[in-house]
């Protein structure tokens, strides 16, 4: 292990945060017994000039998922084969999704935050757990048939937590008792942004007016509501690597291959994703909440790991963790893909579109970096949005989420279809010769960029987060689609 090289890289990154006199983070490299590298930089709170340290608490965001899945595996009255409908009153077909598919991202459950945002309710809106469950009860459909593909959604974790709460199980208490107490961890599950957390860093995003505190109004849930320190997450990672967790072979169970309905293996387990480079397989997860970026990576083969916790939105915590693990192993990461055609592409039918800019691909609004996969192929490294793409003529073909797609170039200028004009539920579509807008109650209008006579793209933003939406028109109404929310429809008239 090249600990010195990895330490130099970590120190360089942390020093950059300190020199910038803005938010920062903690970088930790460890083996199953010891912390081998600790590098912290920047500020945990700008108003009080508090330095970011390894014992600074942060919101783990979606790193929380494998912790909650660990609790489920301790035995809490639900099984991975159970239907959600066996524990909760849910509309069909949500009730038919199994708990295993709800946790491994193959259930097709629309992401609740994305769905609400498409309806004009931004992520900063304060909504309680009960209000959010009311919204779930009105979801009319799944994104796709369970097991057909893989696509990221927080809703499954929210629903499994709701199933435990329906049994009067104290989820936060069990996390404390079964996961944290024996390891001396201060990790806890919090409900929302108003709940006080001792020593919690402020999450920041960079606006044109300078650094601003991020806000997330929705109830956090077990999908992303854990808080803790870098020391806590290292100790937890060491317990997984040395099999000292609350369940025997817990890391193996969390990272075990999960299957699509046709038997194909995905790279996402129960809150842990597979990442491969140079013939190695690492397991980990990232997280993002407004102003927080987090990542943990574990290498069972060498008993090593990395933790990166940041309170600045512009940090690439996952990229940093990979760079450090590559430095530790003395290998190079794959080169960025540079051979695909550039621009906007769309399938012949449906809401599916793809934007290629440099080595970054945006599919239905979700962006991933692409790397050279050999043989003319570009591949992504995300387990929950796997991509494998290559050029075909002036178009692009391949797989995204394990589903085959063929994309054709979109003309640079398409005029809006005048037939789109009209009312759709609470929406009004206004068309002029060269412009199109969707007017929404209590939200800014959506400016439409037509793809063809039936589809257009729209953009909206809330703080550091943005949505890129495909708006599709049909005789009966319009639909709004993002990668995580594909079931939002408005009737015409």
What is the DSSP-derived secondary structure letter of residue 146?
T
Secondary structure of residue 329 in the 3-state scheme = helix
Residue with tokens 């035995």: 75
Q: Are 179 and 67 in contact (CB under 8 A)?
A: yes
Q: Are 410 and 353 in contact (CB under 8 A)?
A: yes
Q: How confident is the model at residue 402 (pLDDT cuts 50, 70, 90)?
A: very high
Q: Are 226 and 60 in contact (CB under 8 A)?
A: yes
State residue 67's pLDDT score.
98
Q: How far apart are CA 67 and CA 272, in angstroms?
A: 10
State residue 381's pLDDT score.
92
Question: CA nearest 93: which of 136, 157, 40?
Answer: 136
Q: How far apart are CA 148 and CA 50, in angstroms?
A: 48
Residues 37-49 have a mean pLDDT of 98
Taken as a whole, the chain contains a residue count of: 493
Please spell the DSSP secondary structure of 47-83, one letter per residue: TTTEEP-TT-BEE-GGGHHHHHHHHHHTT-S--TTSB
Q: How far apart are CA 459 and CA 464, in angstroms?
A: 13
Q: How far apart are CA 90 and CA 67, in angstroms?
A: 25
Please spell the DSSP secondary structure of 18-45, one letter per residue: HHHTSB-EEEEEEESS-EEEEEEESEEE
Q: Are 455 and 470 in contact (CB under 8 A)?
A: yes
Q: How confident is the model at residue 415 (pLDDT cuts 50, 70, 90)?
A: very high
Residues 242-270 have a mean pLDDT of 96
pLDDT of 433 over the 90 cut? no
Q: How confident is the model at residue 173 (pLDDT cuts 50, 70, 90)?
A: very high
**What CATH architecture does domain 3-69+169-329 belong to?**
3-Layer(aba) Sandwich (3.40)
Task: Using alpha carbons, list the distances in angstroms from residue 396 to 350, 389, 401.
Answer: 16, 7, 15
State residue 338's pLDDT score.
83
Q: How confident is the model at residue 192 (pLDDT cuts 50, 70, 90)?
A: confident
Beta pairing, strands 204-207 & 353-357: unpaired
Secondary structure of residue 321 in the 3-state scheme = helix
Q: How far apart are CA 213 and CA 482, in angstroms?
A: 26
State residue 434's pLDDT score.
82
195-228 pLDDT tens trace = 999 999 999 999 999 999 999 999 999 999 999 9
| Other CB atoms within 10 A of residue 419 CB | 12
Q: How confident is the model at residue 2 (pLDDT cuts 50, 70, 90)?
A: very high
Structure tokens at 74: 């301790």
Please spell the DSSP secondary structure of 439-462, one letter per residue: EETTEEEEEEEESSSSEEEEEEEE
Secondary structure of residue 260 in the 3-state scheme = coil
State residue 127's pLDDT score.
95
């Amino acid at each position: 292990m090249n600990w010195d090289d990895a330490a130099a890289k970590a120190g360089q990154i942390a020093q950059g945060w300190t020199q910038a006199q803005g938010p920062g983070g903690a970088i930790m490299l460890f083996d199953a017994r010891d912390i081998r590298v600790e590098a912290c930089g920047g500020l945990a709170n700008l108003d009080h000039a508090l330095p970011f340290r390894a014992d600074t608490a942060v919101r783990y965001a979606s790193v929380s998922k494998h912790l909650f899945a660990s609790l489920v595996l301790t035995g809490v009255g639900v099984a991975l084969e159970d239907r959600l409908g066996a524990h909760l009153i849910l509309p069909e077909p949500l009730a038919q999704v199994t708990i295993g598919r709800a946790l491994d991202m193959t259930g097709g459950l629309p992401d609740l935050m994305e769905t609400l945002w498409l309806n004009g309710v931004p992520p900063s809106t304060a909504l309680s757990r009960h209000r959010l469950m009311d919204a779930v009860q009105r979801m009319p459909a799944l994104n796709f048939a369970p097991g057909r593909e893989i696509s990221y959604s927080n809703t499954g974790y929210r629903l499994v937590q709701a199933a435990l709460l329906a049994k009067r199980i104290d989820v936060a208490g069990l996390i404390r008792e079964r996961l944290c107490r024996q390891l001396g961890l201060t990790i806890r599950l919090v409900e929302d942004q108003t709940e006080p957390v001792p020593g919690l860093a402020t999450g920041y995003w960079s606006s044109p007016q300078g650094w601003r505190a991020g806000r997330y109004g929705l109830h956090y849930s077990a999908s992303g509501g854990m808080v803790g320190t870098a020391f806590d997450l290292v100790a937890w990672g060491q317990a997984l690597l040395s099999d000292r967790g609350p369940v025997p072979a817990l890391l193996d169970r969390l990272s075990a291959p999960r299957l699509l309905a046709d038997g194909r293996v995905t790279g996402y387990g129960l809150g842990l994703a597979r990442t491969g480079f140079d013939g190695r397989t690492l397991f980990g997860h990232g997280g993002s909440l407004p102003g927080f970026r987090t990542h943990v990576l574990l290498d069972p083969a060498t008993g090593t790991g990395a933790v990166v916790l940041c309170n600045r939105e512009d940090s690439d915590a996952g990229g940093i963790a990979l760079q450090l693990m590559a430095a530790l192993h003395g290998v190079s990461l794959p080169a960025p893909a540079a051979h695909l055609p550039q621009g906007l592409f769309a399938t012949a039918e449906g809401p599916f579109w793809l934007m290629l800019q440099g080595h970054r691909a945006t599919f239905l609004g979700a962006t991933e970096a692409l790397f050279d996969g050999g043989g003319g192929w570009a591949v992504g490294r995300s387990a929950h949005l796997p991509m494998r793409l290559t050029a075909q003529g002036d178009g692009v073909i391949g797989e995204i989420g394990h589903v085959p797609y063929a994309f054709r170039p979109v003309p640079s200028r398409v005029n809006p279809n005048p037939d789109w004009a009209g009312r759709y539920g609470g929406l009004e579509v206004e068309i002029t010769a060269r412009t199109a807008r969707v007017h929404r109650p209590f939200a800014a209008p959506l400016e439409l960029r037509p793809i063809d006579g039936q589809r257009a793209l729209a953009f909206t933003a809330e703080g550091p987060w943005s949505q890129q939406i495909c708006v599709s028109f049909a005789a009966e109404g319009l639909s709004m689609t993002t990668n995580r929310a594909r079931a939002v429809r408005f009737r015409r008239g």
